[in-house]
């Protein structure tokens, strides 16, 4: 039976300083038209587990400010162990790291910066005015193209998915409301999960077939502490932009906002483009 998202995010003590998670094929990044084993566990899930392992394993209670994760190798669909380390603790800022993998094979390594929010100057130039989410219809991805993990995400595109060249004469960008299908209030893990919840934005500017890529690293900066009142129904609006595609690499940026317009997070992801078949 396929895991729920809550089950997939569950970490248990492995008895030797690490935390264990079961990586299920239902979170594969392979297209749903292909076997789950053709892909690997979704990068957003691995990011959420990395942050959760640092928080749970080290007893960190302050908000996550920044997560930087490197995807070293594709994990397998079996148990994985995440081993966190407190690099430097403090009242106001804590620096932690984590490695995750299976046996001697490391799949990810990540750094987390945690710290208290305090009163101070406020400047929020990030603004967005998308159509309200309740004015948009659900727009699930085509199962012949959409990865397995997208079954755990509800998408509502603001101007359609714009796949395969619809942005040829426009900026390579994409706007979409997303939430996890459990409709749980947005929290740290679910936000990290959703920050990687869409296909590469360059898909909108290049013709089919899509140029496949693998995530190499991702950095997420969270801008506000998430509480159950931030987004009680789990929605956030995301805007992604391809900043550069060339020489076998792609760099893409994204911003996430709460339903009330508050900016929630920035994300930058570097992808390695896979060579096409002749």
Report helix, strand or coil for 58.
Answer: helix
Q: How many domains does the chain have?
A: 1
pLDDT higher than 80, residue 234? yes
pLDDT of residue 61: 93
Q: Which of 140-149, 208-217, 256-265 is predicted most confidently?
A: 256-265
> Is there a domain that residue 125 lies in?
no
Within a domain: 37: yes
- Please report whether residue 102 resides in a domain: yes
Tell me the pTM. 0.95
For residue 155, what are the domain limits? 5-116+136-273
CATH number at residue 72: 2.40.160.210
Phi, psi of 239 (to 5 degrees): -130, 120
Q: What's the alpha-carbon Rg for the chain, to the nearest Å?
A: 18
Question: Is there a domain that residue 14 lies in?
Answer: yes
The answer to whether residues 95 and 68 touch, using CB atoms and an 8 Å cutoff, is no
pLDDT digits (tens, 9 = 90+) for 116-154: 988 889 888 898 889 999 999 999 988 888 999 999 999
pLDDT digit string, tens, across residues 218-230: 999 999 999 999 9
Domain assignment of residue 233, yes or no: yes
Determine the Cα–Cα distance for residues 66 and 158; give it in Å rounded to an integer: 28
- Identify the pLDDT of residue 278: 46
């Amino acid at each position: 039976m396929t895991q729920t998202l809550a089950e997939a995010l569950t970490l248990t003590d492995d008895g030797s300083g690490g935390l264990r998670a079961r990586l299920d094929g239902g979170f594969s990044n392979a297209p749903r038209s292909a076997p789950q084993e053709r892909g690997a566990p979704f990068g957003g899930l691995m990011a959420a587990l990395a942050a959760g392992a640092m928080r749970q394993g080290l007893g960190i209670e302050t908000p996550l400010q920044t997560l930087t994760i490197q995807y070293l190798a594709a994990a397998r669909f079996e148990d994985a162990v995440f081993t966190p380390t407190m690099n430097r603790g403090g009242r106001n800022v804590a620096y932690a790291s984590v490695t995750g993998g299976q046996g001697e094979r490391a799949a990810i390594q990540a750094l987390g910066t945690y710290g208290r929010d305090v009163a101070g100057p406020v400047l929020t130039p990030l603004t967005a005015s998308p159509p309200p989410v309740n004015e948009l219809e659900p727009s699930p991805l085509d199962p012949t193209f959409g990865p397995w993990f997208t079954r755990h995400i509800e998408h509502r595109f603001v101007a359609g998915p714009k796949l395969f060249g619809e942005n040829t004469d426009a900026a390579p960008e994409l706007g979409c409301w997303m939430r996890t299908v459990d409709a749980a209030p947005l929290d740290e893990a679910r936000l990290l999960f959703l920050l990687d919840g869409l296909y590469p934005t360059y898909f909108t500017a290049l013709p089919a077939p899509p140029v496949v890529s693998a995530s190499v690293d991702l950095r997420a900066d969270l801008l506000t502490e998430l509480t159950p009142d931030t987004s009680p129904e789990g929605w956030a609006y995301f805007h992604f932009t391809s900043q550069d595609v060339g020489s076998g690499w792609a760099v893409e940026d994204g911003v996430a906002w709460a339903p009330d317009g508050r900016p929630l997070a920035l994300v930058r992801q570097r992808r390695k483009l896979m060579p096409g078949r002749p």
